[in-house]
Chains A and B, each alone.
Chain A
Amino acid sequence: MDTILFLILAVIAVGCGINVIFQKHPISSALSLVGVMGALAAMYLQLGGEFIAAAQIIVYAGAVMVLFVFVIMLLNAGKERRTSPRIWARWAGPPLLFLFVGAVAYVLESFLPPSGDVRFGGFDGGSAQAIGVRLFTQYLLPFEVTSILILIAIVGAIVLARKEID
């Protein structure tokens, strides 16, 4: 049962991922990416990450993708112009990518110690409570530094996107 669920989610994720890079229109790419994020969120639930699954939906599929779609609409981005990549890029690129995937998959399958199977409910340390306790004790400094980072990002975004005042 878990395997079937995983396979369905994996097919959705990879299908939407392929769609992201083959769609000509940016809005189609963005909406396909929402599909990838949804599938990954369900997968996080399978792996016991309830908090991360919720954050994925709210922050990524919600906020970040709305921002993307908003900018695409705002700029009225049309279809991508057809450009021909360099000849060696076209012929060497995809095989190198397959080589990369194959090499990493080989290393994972042969050198990773047998790590068992994923069972739904096999790990319950991903609740909001458990994450919150770690976040506000052991990881308090990174958390605070991140808040400063966000503040800087907000200011930077406003400065970059504001109307020029002469």
Chain B
Amino acid sequence: MPPLPAEPPLTWYLILSVVLFALGIAGFLFRRNIITVFISIELMLNAVNLSFVTFSYKLKQNDGHIFSFFVMVVAAAEAAVGLAIILTVFKNRQTLEIDEVSSLKN
């Protein structure tokens, strides 16, 4: 095993971002609870934010920070609306299973 570098290469951050994104995809596709699916989306957004900030470090510009700031704002708005939708779905159907919410199918 080669000795650890004193400073982590930039690519490690990007690979961590990919790993977190893949975990988010897995949760999004395999989980059946509507809230957990939503949490997985937040995980994916966080992973993308990490790569924005990493590229910002590489390019020595803070545009990436501003993009991830906007991502955060949109995620907050999305969480508010999405959770309101979940509340409405639960009120009308008394379930949180996405398989049982299938009005648009067929």
Contacts and interface: CB of A to CB of B under 8 A. Distances in A.
A134 B56 contact: no
**Secondary structure of the B side of the interface?**
helix
B54 A21 contact: no
Contacts of A26: 33, 35-36, 39
B63 to A, nearest CB: 7
A115 B51 CA distance: 14
A94 B25 CA distance: 10
Contact of B65 (A71, A85, A131): A131
A135 to B, nearest CB: 6
B19 A101 contact: yes
Contact residues on A (Cβ < 8 Å of other chain), bracket: 35 or more
A37 B15 CA distance: 17
Contacts of A72: 35
Contact of A125 (B46, B62, B69): B62
Contacts of B33: 26, 77, 80
A43 B18 contact: no
Contacts of B101: none
Contacts of A150: 73, 76-77
Interface of B: 4-16, 18-20, 22-27, 29-33, 35-36, 38-40, 42-43, 46, 49-50, 53-54, 56-58, 60-63, 65-66, 68-70, 72-81, 83-88, 90, 96-97, 99
Interface of A: 1-4, 6-7, 10, 13-14, 17-18, 20-21, 26, 29-30, 33, 36-37, 40, 43-44, 47-49, 51-52, 55-56, 59-60, 63-64, 67-68, 71-72, 74-75, 77, 80-81, 83, 85, 89, 93-94, 97-98, 100-101, 104-105, 108-109, 112, 115-119, 122-123, 125-126, 130-131, 134-135, 139, 142, 146, 149-150, 152-154, 156-158, 160-161
